[in-house]
Amino acid sequence: MCSIINLDIDGCIHKLPLVCGTFDKAIDISKLRENTRFITFDPGLKNTAFTKSSISFINGENGELLYRGYPIDELVKKCSFIETSYLILNGELPNKKQLKFFSKKITKYIVLNKEIYGILNRFPESYHPMGILSSFTNILFAFINDDTSSEKEEDLYFHLLAKIPMLAALIYRKKKGLPFFKDYPTLKYNNYTYNLLKMFFSVPDRPYSINSLIIDSLDKLLTLHIDHEQNCSTTTVRLLASVRSNLFSSITAGINALWGKLHGGANQAVIEMLEIILKDGGNVKKWINKAKNKKDPFRLMGFGHRIYKNFDPRSKIAKCLAEYLILKLNISDPILELAKELEKHALKDSYFFDKKIYPNIDFYSGIIYQAIGIPKDMFTVMFVLGRLPGWIAHWKEIKNNIDPIGRPRQIYIGSKKRYIS
């Protein structure tokens, strides 16, 4: 049963109600300033819930992640990325009929307006794929709105779920100098990840086939990325939804937030870090000491997490996926060997152990993408493909349960009031 707590400010007792969630409680401070003139200070919002959500839940101490109540390891074992995307968006797992309809709609909306190809060709080669993807996500809305202004909102979700993977594949093909498709690849409506790989890697005039282990590994990895409570990019999407920005501009903002090196950009930063260590002779102890040195800005990319003070459950699964894929594909890559060496030494080091710093999902995801043949500057684009259903679900949740607009306070530390002399 929820109760209240007493806050004693200069001998005056203020009663603050508690808010009860499914698993945890919070102190409701929504009337704090009104009643006490005080606000709270919580840099990085480490201790602050700014919303309620029923989409995912993380137990950081136990290393547990639930999507709509289902443990992530159960979903990865028993469901596909598309089935889990349906769950995240609709709250329940789909039956056969619902899954078929959901998958067909995604395949139906894959067609891009022909002008997109021309615009894509005009982007400079050097521009990062995440910059191109976020630009195109906004541009997409212009074409969809023109074509079918009566578009029901629900269909806009499918436009994104269908077109963003297509855009990702075109960005990859442009980088690799591969031709765009002469005609749309014949897609299997019930295998999103097969279609994705085919859009990336198929070459003209040659039948496309790919090892089913690669399809299965990528499908599981995409599922691991679908949602993760109020991470920086998801909170960004919710903030835009709270001021009623349209879905496409909200997702564009999410893509740009995810690009950050300390967030989704870490999967690319992990491989770049390993390449530097390798080039420097592979002395992992030297680099671990650099990461521990307060005066050194170097951090171990792919290590640490704001919420998990135990192993990230996704990392455990991603680690097994990476090891199995490398073994079965008989891949020998010094970068992958170095990653194992670094992990082994860091996990034994008391600095990381005492601060509860473990490898996060970005440490292993880059290894899998690399093994599949995806270039490192496309790793965060792959993260977008996984996280997209989660972002849409959060945008939808705000639309249906009206949150006040996100507008935090601040502690002002600037000049006192002064006048121009």
Which of 214, 241, 266, 338 touches ligand SDX by CB under 6 A? 266
Q: What are phi and psi of 13, to 5 degrees?
A: -90, 120
Q: What are phi and psi of 165, to 5 degrees?
A: -60, -35
CB of 51 to ligand SDX, least distance (A): 15
Q: Which of 236, 309, 244, 262 is nearest to 50 (CA)?
A: 236
Residues 287-306 binding ligand SDX (CB under 6 A) are 291, 299-306
CA angle 262, 264, 270 (to 5 degrees): 70
What span, in angstroms and rounded, lies between the C-alpha atoms of 236 and 217? 29
76 lies in the site for ligand SDX, by CB under 6 A:
no
- Which of 159, 219, 362, 394 is labelled catalytic? 362
Token couple for 402 = 């009206």
What span, in angstroms and rounded, lies between the C-alpha atoms of 11 and 8? 6
223 lies in the site for ligand SDX, by CB under 6 A:
no
The yes-or-no answer on residue 305 being catalytic is yes
Which of 2, 45, 262, 405 touches ligand SDX by CB under 6 A? 262
Cα 21 to Cα 7, 13, 18, 204, distances in angstroms: 21, 25, 10, 53
Q: Which residues lie below 8 Å from residue 8, measured CB to CB, with a gap of 6+?
A: 14
To which residue do tokens 């074509």 refer? 147
Sequence-ordered strand ranges (E) for 217-348: none
CB of 264 to ligand SDX, least distance (A): 6
Number of Cβ atoms within 10 Å of the Cβ of 9 = 12
Q: How many residues lie near ligand SDX (CB under 6 A)?
A: 21
CB of 360 to ligand SDX, least distance (A): 4
Q: Which is nearer to ligand SDX, 300 or 378 (CB)?
A: 300
CA angle 278, 279, 284 (to 5 degrees): 35
CB of 400 to ligand SDX, least distance (A): 23
What span, in angstroms and rounded, lies between the C-alpha atoms of 285 and 227? 34
- Which of 228, 305, 312, 394 is labelled catalytic? 305
CB of 213 to ligand SDX, least distance (A): 24
Site mask for ligand SDX (CB under 6 A), range 361-390, x = bound = xx----------------------------
231 lies in the site for ligand SDX, by CB under 6 A:
yes
Residues 329-358 binding ligand SDX (CB under 6 A) are 355, 357
Q: Which of 33, 72, 98, 20 is nearest to 314 (CA)?
A: 72
The yes-or-no answer on residue 362 being catalytic is yes
Q: Which is nearer to ligand SDX, 373 or 408 (CB)?
A: 408
CB of 61 to ligand SDX, least distance (A): 14
Contact residues: ligand SDX, CB under 6 A = 44, 228, 231, 262-264, 266, 291, 299-306, 355, 357, 360-362
Q: Which residues does the annotation mark as catalytic?
A: 305, 362
